[in-house]
Amino acid sequence: MHTARERRGRVRRSAAAAAVLAILGTLVPVGQAVAAASGISTVDGVEEAVDTTVTYDFDCDNQGDPLPPIYRLWGPNNLYHYVVIDDYVHQGSTTSGIFTIAYDDYATGSYSLLVQCGGLPDNGVTRNFTLGSTQAETSTSLGVSATTVVTGDTVTLTATVDGAESGDVTFLAGGAPIGTRALQGGTASLTYQVDEAQTFTARFEGTETAATSTSAPTSVEVVSAITPGTVAIATNPAVGVEQSASVGTWAPEGVTLSYSWTVDGHQVGTQPTYTPTAADQGKALRVVVTGTRAPLTAVPQTSAPKTVELGTIENGYLELDGRDGNNAVLGQTLTPRPVGYGQDAQFSYEWVIGDHERTVTAPTYTPTAADLGKLIQVRMTVTAPGKQPTGDWAYAWPAVTTPTVAVGSQTVTVGRDVVVPVTVAGPQGGPTPKGSVEVTLTPKGSATGQPLDAVVLDGKGRASVPLTGLAVGSYTVSVTYVPTPGSMPVFAVASIAVETNPYTGATGSGTVTVTKVTPTVTVPATVAVPVATEVTLEARVGGAVLPSTFVFREGATVIGQGQLATDGVIPASLGVLAPGTHTVVLELPETASTRAASATFTVTVGGEPARVGALPTAVLDTPEAATAPGQQMELVAEGFEPGETVAFYLHSDPVFLGTAVADENGVARLLADIPADVPAGAHTVIATGGTSGRWATLAVELAVPAAAAPVAAAAPSGDLAATGAQAGLLMAGAWTLLLAGGALVVVARRVRTAR
C-alpha cells in the first residue's frame, strides 16, 4: 500500500482537484487530508453544471477488510460504472480517500454514486444527485387573514414561495381555481369573499429555473349567529372606585360591545366603566352588555346585581413643609401638605408637641423657643362623602434653630502663639449649644485653607482655638459649629421622649493678622582702638524672630557683614580703620518676618599700637631720608606678619606719619611726609605692627631749612647741616646712638637670619 502523498503523485486528476489536495495536504495530516465527514462530498466542481468534472472525497467503514475501495455509478440509459479508487488511506476500520469523475459526455438526469470500502456493497456510502438539472426546488405556503368569518366577509389569501422571486401563483378554493397572481418579491395575494366554509390552496406554476410547488390546505369557518360571553361586574362596587364589566368571550371576531349601567333600575352610564357616587351607596348596580355584528342579530347579556358599598378614600400620604431636612425650625411655620387624595377629600389637623405636653388644633404651626429640642407631630384626619374616613401622621424632628458663631479677631507679632476665642450662642432663653467647632485657617489671597483639629465647646458654648507657628500675613479663621448628634429612635404614633441637640450647624469667621517683629539692637556707644589695629566688638540682636543677616556700614561703604547666629550675638570684626573718628551703623535688613532695624556707634582710631617686648623685634630702614621738616622720606620696615598694618610715628613727641600693609614677605613700605612744623634735631621713627606688636626704630636728624639758617658756608649736598649747637647735640647723643645702633644691627641680623 502506498502513502497518500505517493499516490497523489501518480494519479491523474484535474488542475482544480490537484489544488484542493495540495491545500488539504498542507493544512492537515495525511490521514485526515482526504477524509470526508462520514459519507461522500464534493471538494471541487458542481454536479448541476453541464459538462463538468467533480472531485469527491469519502470516508466509510471497511469492517477491518483493508481492500482497495471502489466506486459504483448508476445513471440514466442503464449507465453503470465500476472503478477502483487508488488514492486512499486505511485508518483502522475506516477508509478515506479522494477521486475525480469527468461528466463531460454524461446525460442529464438522476444518478446514484456508491463508494464501497470493503466487504459487502452495503458497507459503503451513497450520494444521490441530479446531473445538469436547471430547475431549483421551491416550497409554497399559504396564509389567510382570518380563519373564522361571518357570511359575506372577505379574506386575504397570501402565498409565499421560497426558492423563487418571480412566476405565477394560482389560488384554489375547494380545488377549483379562483384567481392567478404574479409573484412580487416572493409573495402573491388575492382577496376573496367567503359565503360558506372553504378550504384554500396555492400552487406555484414554476419557471425555467424554479420547480412547481403547492401549499398545504388552509380552512376558513363561517358563522351565522353571535355567541355571547358571560357578563358580570368584575369587583364588589364601592363609592369612588371605578367599575368594569367582565364580558367573557364573544364570537365571531369583530363583535362590537356596548354598555348600559343602572342603579336600582335607573341608567347611570353607557361607558365601558362606571364609578359609583356617594348617592349610589347601598343601592343595586347592574351592567347590560350588548353584542352587535352585521348582518347578525344583536344579543344583550345582563350581569347579576351588586350592592354599592362605602368607598375607600384614595391612598395618599402627608408631607410637612417648612422643615430643614427633617427638623422643625424656630420661627418657621410648619404647613401640612396632603398628597394623592381625591378631590372630594377634606382635611383637619391636630399638632402634638413634645411628649404630648400640649396639643394644638390648627391648619399650621410655628415653633417657639419653648419647642426647641422637642418632637413636633401633626395628625391629619381625612373624610369624604360615601367613604370610610382615614388619616396619616407627619413628624418634624425636634425644633432647631441656627446659633450665632462669633469668632474673635487678633493681631500679634510673628513668633507668638495665637488663641482665637469662639462663642456659639443660641437665642435668649434657649439652651446652651453643645458640640464642637471645626476650624479652617486660610491665608489671605489663597483659595485653599488648612483644616485644624476640632475643638469641643465647654459648658458655656465657648472654645479656644490655638494657632502656632504662623508666618507674617493676614488669615481668615473660618469656624463651623458641629452640633452633638442626638438620639432619634424609631417611633410610632405614641408618647415618645426625645432628647437631641436643638441647634443646626452654623458658621462664623474672624481674622488673625501676624505682623513683622522689630528686632532690638544693642551695640557699644563707642569703640576705641589704636592705629593699625583691627576693630572688634560684640553686638546683640533680640526678638521673638531674628533676621538672617547683618551689615556694618560707614557711610555708603560696607565694612562688615555676615549671617546672624541663632542666639543673636554678633562677634564683629570691622578690619583696620584709618586714624580718626568713624560713625558706623549696624543694619539689619527687612525679612519676611522682621522689620528693618539699625544702631549707630562711634569708632575712634588713635594712638600707637601696643609694642611687644623691651627691644625691637623688626628692622626699620630708609633708602631715602628726610633732611629737614616738610620733606618726604621713604621708610622700609621688615620683620612683620604678612598682611598686618604697620603704624609709623615720629618721636619724641609722637607725630603720626602714616600706615602701610606688610606684603607677603612681611615688608611694609611708606613714603612719609615730615610735617613742616616738626622741630629740627634728632628724632626717632618707630614702626609698630597693629596685629603682632612687633616694632622697629630708626634715628633721623632734621636740620633747620636753609632759608631760615644764619649765613654760613654751604654744606655738602645730601648731608645734614651742622652748627655749633647741633654739633654739641650730636656729641652728646653719640654714645646713645652708638649703643642703639649696635642693638639695631644685632636685631637686624637676627631678623634677616630668621627670614
CA torsion sign, 43 to 44 to 50 to 51? negative
Q: How far apart are CA 432 and CA 459, in angstroms?
A: 8
Question: Cβ(199)–Cβ(157) under 8 Å?
Answer: no
Q: Which of 123, 127, 57, 126 has the alpha carbon at shortest distance from 93?
A: 123
CATH of 232-311, one of 1.10.357.10, 3.90.1150.10, 3.40.1390.10, 2.60.40.10: 2.60.40.10
Q: Which of 32, 53, 28 has the alpha carbon at shortest distance from 43?
A: 53
Q: Which of 545, 557, 647 has the alpha carbon at shortest distance from 597?
A: 545
Residues 6+ positions from 210 with CB-CB distance below 8 Å: 135, 136, 138, 161, 163, 164, 167, 204
Domain ranges of the chain: 4-131, 139-223, 232-311, 313-400, 404-515, 520-605, 619-754
What pLDDT was estimated at residue 466?
Answer: 93
Residues 6+ positions from 349 with CB-CB distance below 8 Å: 336, 361, 362, 363, 378, 379, 380, 381
Q: In what order do the strands lie in the sheet containing 109-116?
A: 79-84, 70-75, 109-116, 125-131
Q: What is residue 729's three-state secondary structure?
A: helix
**What CATH number is given for 520-605 in this structure?**
2.60.40.10
What pLDDT was estimated at residue 732?
Answer: 32
Q: Does domain 619-754 have CATH number 3.40.50.150?
A: no
Residues pairing with 291 in the sheet: 257, 299
User: Roughly how many angstroms between the first and final C-alpha of the chain, as a whole number?
Assistant: 121
Q: How far apart are CA 738 and CA 732, in angstroms?
A: 11
CATH class of segment(s) 404-515:
mainly beta
DSSP code of residue 132: T
**What CATH number is given for 313-400 in this structure?**
2.60.40.10
Q: How far apart are CA 404 and CA 421, in angstroms?
A: 14
**What CATH number is given for 4-131 in this structure?**
2.60.40.10
Q: Would 313-400 and 520-605 be classified into the same CATH topology? A: yes
Question: Cβ(144)–Cβ(200) under 8 Å?
Answer: yes
What pLDDT was estimated at residue 485?
Answer: 77
Q: How far apart are CA 283 and CA 612, in angstroms?
A: 143
The three three-digit cell numbers of residue 324, written as one number:
430643614
The three three-digit cell numbers of residue 612, written as one number:
611687644
Question: Cβ(452)–Cβ(478) under 8 Å?
Answer: no
Q: How far apart are CA 724 and CA 281, in angstroms?
A: 169
φ/ψ region of 607 (left if φ > 0, alpha if ψ in -120 to 50, else beta) reads left
Q: How far apart are CA 74 and CA 81, in angstroms?
A: 7
Q: How far apart are CA 529 and CA 536, in angstroms?
A: 9
Alpha helices in 81-150 (DSSP H): none
Q: How far apart are CA 311 and CA 341, in angstroms?
A: 13
Residues 6+ positions from 212 with CB-CB distance below 8 Å: 138, 203, 204, 205, 206
Question: Cβ(684)–Cβ(652) under 8 Å?
Answer: yes
490-493-499 Cα angle (round to 5): 50
Q: In what order do the strands lie in the sheet containing 668-673?
A: 619-624, 632-638, 668-673
Q: Is the pTM of this model over 0.95?
A: no
Q: How far apart are CA 23 and CA 172, in angstroms?
A: 54
**Under CATH, which architecture does the 139-223 domain have?**
Sandwich (2.60)
Where do we find the cell 441530479?
Answer: 130
Q: Catalogue the long-range contacts made by 371-374 (C-beta closer than 8 Å, 24 or more residues apart).
A: 371/328, 371/330, 371/399, 372/330, 372/398, 372/399, 372/400, 372/401, 372/426, 372/430, 372/431, 372/502, 373/398, 373/399, 373/431, 373/499, 373/500, 373/501, 373/502, 374/398, 374/399, 374/498
Residues of the chain short of pLDDT 70, as ranges, are 1-38, 49-50, 119-123, 133-134, 486-500, 705-755
Residues pairing with 64 in the sheet: none
Burial class (CB in 10 A: 0-12, 13-18, 19+), 20: buried
DSSP code of residue 730: H
Residues pairing with 400 in the sheet: 329
What pLDDT was estimated at residue 487?
Answer: 58
